[in-house]
Chains A and B, each alone.
Chain A
């Protein structure tokens, strides 16, 4: 635990007074304190390219009146900066007429991860040796490997939230990530592969002799597969997505459009669809922030609300959006533990945690066999979405051309696009092989990055593929 009031002219009691004076005539708000340390070690081009040790320390003070938010943040936690922040909040929210201050919060004593510091799990020397071993292991696999980038990133984030009446909530959030990216070259052709492993469990869960090799092997498999890949086809066709990381489809095509701020702003394509069937009855989509140890899991969100399992779509019917305290209040819902922020530099907003689709009945083989012409997506890359129109896109890292129910040849250079409301209706088959991703997702929204988890069973869906072969 950090003692945020140790080396400052501000005592906890004084801070609590300022918080009360500022917020008791507002609807909501809190002082958010952060002290996190992060170590990042990167091996690239056969040598340790960089080690960077970052300490992020600061506070963010927020007041909310009706639907207006005032936020003020600073790297200095002291009397002057808190008083300045209070003045700034009052100047924005001065016109508020009536208020209903609410500081009730849904708390939990549950702990989804142990209180540990992953940075200290190994000495720096051991981590450097490990990265060198990883480099040698990968390069010994093939002399076509031209470049290996391997990194170990570990973080311990201490946060404390102080609400009115001295109510204090705190959490220690560990995070470990091990990443591999490699480039292979054959003739004039370059190919890439990347994979990672990570989450909030202890270091050894992600980086030990057994699992680091699996990460390397998968990155190598992706790069090698593309050495002989042909041009991807272009046009609308059946797409079979593999399980696990393909959940990024769900995250982009549906997840973002079910974030509560887009509900009260009425800008989500689904804002007027609650209670309606938006997909076929086999589709159930869940966001679950309290799965032990997962990258997207949190004991409490960044407003102090406990995280939970939220069913968003149940058997095809849209049930609920994901909320922070503000969107819950404005839409007369209960907070769902989805109020997240990247750091003290940002006010919270509704964000996903671990988002996935429940199992269906089909097998992936059945799906592939049912396709006359299409592609099988073996490894998806990243994607993005336009909330208002619902249009989304993804990069495909690895795919196979399917012809007459058989995988024919690897294809590359494809983007998948579609629109959320349409694609959810076009999911024809859902597999019985739900898997969550390996723990490497990072989601960006309004300039804020947060770690997330995602997952999906194998799926067959009609989509537009952006290859270069007509």
Chain B
């Protein structure tokens, strides 16, 4: 059974009281319980089941401007006391850091709106298996799907409390239902190719129908079969949605408070400067209902609100917690846990329009390796895709993309097909210039 609010609050309050008793001048405690149940199917046969029930505590103690932290899963009063004492002893030994402190009391969350982040319904392992069997039945009915690499259904429920010595005491329950399938495709004497599809929802009833999960994954795997190699050239690139979202990932790493405060981002001097074309707006909204990425407050207990990261192509905000906000002489914007639901406002072009930009181009369907380096601003990764020429596509793999992140940002054109599926959401994106394809 998931631990109820009262039990977690009692543990948190106990830890706060003990920390103060052992001479912390302030402290913060997080208590979390996660229970998950997963079943995996492979080639229509159960492969394994997994049940997890973990309660953990994380404590950060301050002695004025000194700070240290501890976390543990061995939870009884005796061990908790030992861990707190050890944490306090460490804290005493540390040097002062003037930016260390709990967040400004005024910014702490008071009342939270119900963002509909918890679904009471549960699904038995038998029902999960039925769902997965349907997924694999549909997938394997595709004549080019030779076997499955595994299909998974996970139900996860969690409850947590965050408390601090400035009277913060808040938390909420979350649920997540996750389904996934990974398929292997093979056509006659071709090599094997694999691809996957997944869905993840707060509410069980919102999950993708199993037949769609199976057929979507099958299409993705089959279109990779019989890839050709491609030559080294400079050519327009289109990133599919599941790849274009990485443009927001690399933006996110490049505008973290730590990289700005510590002067390690290639964008450090670009605050209030044009970094994208004028028609580009990027928003982070933590308060979208029923999204697994939503959060009414961040991991310091600071309330979070909708915010523009980029407006009319200009960098407007970086991602701040209390510590780095102070270093930068700003106030935290409730992003100690990072970004939440981040998205590009959709563009005006249709998906089809993007392909009219040139006689030939490459549609990127998968990448390998880091999608850019936020410190150096360099971009280089391995890629798989489809070569588009004379209105036809053929699969290509084993090539690289290289260039500069700056050029990807500056030469981006967006389609009008935004959908919310990930924590970072981007429409299909065309990069007209700046990327070099490395092949034979």
- The interface of chain A, by Cβ under 8 A from chain B, is 7, 35, 44-45, 47-58, 67-76, 81, 85, 88, 91-92, 124-125, 128, 146-147, 183, 185, 189-192, 226, 232, 234-236, 265-267, 269, 345, 347, 383-384, 386-395, 412-415, 417-419, 464-470
- The answer to whether A52 touches B377 (Cβ under 8 A) is no
List residues 422-440 of chain B with CB under 8 A from any CB of chain A.
435-440
Q: Is B232 an interface residue (CB 8 A)?
A: yes
Known contacts A71-B49, A124-B93: A389-B194 contact under CB 8 Å: yes
Residues of A within 8 A of B75 (CB): 75-76
22 A-B residue pairs with CB within 8 Å: A47-B97, A55-B83, A56-B72, A56-B73, A57-B73, A58-B73, A71-B49, A74-B53, A92-B39, A190-B266, A232-B402, A267-B147, A384-B368, A392-B368, A412-B378, A413-B402, A415-B382, A464-B439, A466-B380, A466-B401, A466-B402, A467-B400
Residue in B48, B51, B192, B379 whose beta carbon sits within 8 Å of that of A388 in the complex: B192
Q: Which of B63-71, B206-214, B286-294, B331-339 lies on the face that meets chain A?
A: B63-71
- The answer to whether A395 touches B380 (Cβ under 8 A) is yes
Residues of B within 8 A of A347 (CB): 48, 50
Residues of B within 8 A of A73 (CB): 50-54
- The interface of chain B, by Cβ under 8 A from chain A, is 39, 42, 45-56, 67-76, 78-79, 83, 86-87, 89-90, 93-95, 97, 125, 147, 149, 184, 191-194, 224, 232-234, 261-264, 266, 368-370, 373, 375-382, 384, 397-404, 435-440
- The answer to whether A85 touches B51 (Cβ under 8 A) is yes
Closest to B191 in A: A389
Residues of A within 8 A of B264 (CB): 146-147, 183, 190
- The answer to whether B149 touches A234 (Cβ under 8 A) is no
- The answer to whether B48 touches A417 (Cβ under 8 A) is no
Residues of B within 8 A of A55 (CB): 70-74, 79, 83
Residues of A within 8 A of B439 (CB): 235-236, 464
Closest to B377 in A: A190
Residue in A51, A269, A389, A413 whose beta carbon sits within 8 Å of that of B397 in the complex: A389
Docked complex Cα distance between A37 and B384 (Å)? 42
User: In the complex, what's the smallest C-beta–C-beta distance from A256 to chain B, in angstroms?
Assistant: 13
User: In the complex, what's the smallest C-beta–C-beta distance from B364 to chain A, in angstroms?
Assistant: 13
Docked complex Cα distance between A49 and B310 (Å)? 30
User: In the complex, what's the smallest C-beta–C-beta distance from A379 to chain B, in angstroms?
Assistant: 14
- The answer to whether A48 touches B380 (Cβ under 8 A) is no
- The answer to whether B232 touches A68 (Cβ under 8 A) is no
Docked complex Cα distance between A358 and B394 (Å)? 40
**Given A124-B89, A393-B369, 18 further pairs, Cβ under 8 A:** A48-B94, A52-B70, A53-B70, A54-B71, A55-B83, A58-B73, A70-B50, A128-B95, A146-B264, A147-B264, A183-B375, A232-B380, A236-B232, A266-B147, A267-B147, A394-B369, A464-B440, A470-B436
Residue in A183, A267, A415, A464 whose beta carbon sits within 8 Å of that of B194 in the complex: A267
Residue in B89, B193, B380, B398 whose beta carbon sits within 8 Å of that of A418 in the complex: B398
- The answer to whether B68 touches A415 (Cβ under 8 A) is no
- The answer to whether B94 touches A235 (Cβ under 8 A) is no
User: In the complex, what's the smallest C-beta–C-beta distance from A62 to chain B, in angstroms?
Assistant: 9
User: In the complex, what's the smallest C-beta–C-beta distance from B159 to chain A, in angstroms?
Assistant: 15
Known contacts A56-B73, A267-B184, A389-B397: A413-B50 contact under CB 8 Å: no
Residues of A within 8 A of B74 (CB): 35, 55, 57, 75
Docked complex Cα distance between A259 and B90 (Å)? 42
Residues of B within 8 A of A226 (CB): 376
Residues of A within 8 A of B373 (CB): 192, 413
Residues of B within 8 A of A419 (CB): 398
Residue in B224, B376, B382 whose beta carbon sits within 8 Å of that of A417 in the complex: B382
Docked complex Cα distance between A393 and B382 (Å)? 6
Residues of B within 8 A of A191 (CB): 376
Docked complex Cα distance between A86 and B93 (Å)? 45
- The answer to whether B402 touches A71 (Cβ under 8 A) is no
Known contacts A417-B398, A464-B398, A467-B380: A190-B375 contact under CB 8 Å: yes
Docked complex Cα distance between A257 and B177 (Å)? 31
Residues of B within 8 A of A386 (CB): 194, 368
Docked complex Cα distance between A226 and B263 (Å)? 18
Docked complex Cα distance between A347 and B52 (Å)? 11
Residues of A within 8 A of B69 (CB): 50-53
- The answer to whether A51 touches B384 (Cβ under 8 A) is no
Residues of A within 8 A of B51 (CB): 71-73, 85, 88
Docked complex Cα distance between A394 and B381 (Å)? 8
User: In the complex, what's the smallest C-beta–C-beta distance from B111 to chain A, in angstroms?
Assistant: 32
Residues of A within 8 A of B399 (CB): 417, 464, 466
Residues of A within 8 A of B149 (CB): 265, 267, 388
Closest to B78 in A: A7
- The answer to whether A124 touches B90 (Cβ under 8 A) is yes
Residue in B369, B377, B403 whose beta carbon sits within 8 Å of that of A395 in the complex: B369
Residue in B94, B95, B380 whose beta carbon sits within 8 Å of that of A414 in the complex: B380
- The answer to whether A75 touches B375 (Cβ under 8 A) is no
Known contacts A53-B87, A75-B74, A190-B264: A417-B400 contact under CB 8 Å: yes
Which 10 A-B pairs rank lowest in CB-CB distance, beginning with the nearest? A466-B400, A234-B438, A393-B382, A468-B402, A57-B74, A75-B73, A413-B378, A235-B232, A388-B194, A69-B48
- The answer to whether B71 touches A68 (Cβ under 8 A) is no
- The answer to whether B70 touches A75 (Cβ under 8 A) is no
Residues of A within 8 A of B184 (CB): 267, 388
Residue in B67, B262, B368, B369 whose beta carbon sits within 8 Å of that of A45 in the complex: B262
Docked complex Cα distance between A61 and B97 (Å)? 44
User: In the complex, what's the smallest C-beta–C-beta distance from A350 to chain B, in angstroms?
Assistant: 14
Residues of A within 8 A of B403 (CB): 468
Docked complex Cα distance between A235 and B191 (Å)? 23
Docked complex Cα distance between A397 and B322 (Å)? 33
Docked complex Cα distance between A269 and B400 (Å)? 21
Residues of A within 8 A of B192 (CB): 267, 269, 388-389
Docked complex Cα distance between A85 and B83 (Å)? 28
Closest to A412 in B: B378
Known contacts A232-B402, A267-B194: A384-B369 contact under CB 8 Å: yes
- The answer to whether B55 touches A467 (Cβ under 8 A) is no
Residues of B within 8 A of A234 (CB): 232, 400, 402, 436-438
- The answer to whether B55 touches A70 (Cβ under 8 A) is no
Residues of B within 8 A of A464 (CB): 398-400, 438-440
Interface centre among B45, B53, B72 (most CB of A within 10 A): B53
Residues of A within 8 A of B49 (CB): 69-71, 88, 92
Docked complex Cα distance between A41 and B404 (Å)? 34
Docked complex Cα distance between A269 and B194 (Å)? 11
Residues of B within 8 A of A146 (CB): 263-264
User: In the complex, what's the smallest C-beta–C-beta distance from A125 to chain B, in angstroms?
Assistant: 5
Docked complex Cα distance between A386 and B398 (Å)? 11
Docked complex Cα distance between A226 and B378 (Å)? 12
Closest to B38 in A: A71
Residues of B within 8 A of A58 (CB): 54, 73
Closest to A92 in B: B49
Closest to B82 in A: A55
Docked complex Cα distance between A393 and B384 (Å)? 12
User: In the complex, what's the smallest C-beta–C-beta distance from B60 to chain A, in angstroms?
Assistant: 9
Closest to B70 in A: A53
Known contacts A234-B438, A470-B234: A192-B382 contact under CB 8 Å: no
Docked complex Cα distance between A31 and B281 (Å)? 53
- The answer to whether B438 touches A69 (Cβ under 8 A) is no
- The answer to whether A413 touches B68 (Cβ under 8 A) is no
- The answer to whether A415 touches B400 (Cβ under 8 A) is yes
User: In the complex, what's the smallest C-beta–C-beta distance from B144 to chain A, in angstroms?
Assistant: 14
Residue in A50, A183, A192, A414 whose beta carbon sits within 8 Å of that of B402 in the complex: A414
User: In the complex, what's the smallest C-beta–C-beta distance from A52 to chain B, in angstroms?
Assistant: 5
Closest to A8 in B: B76
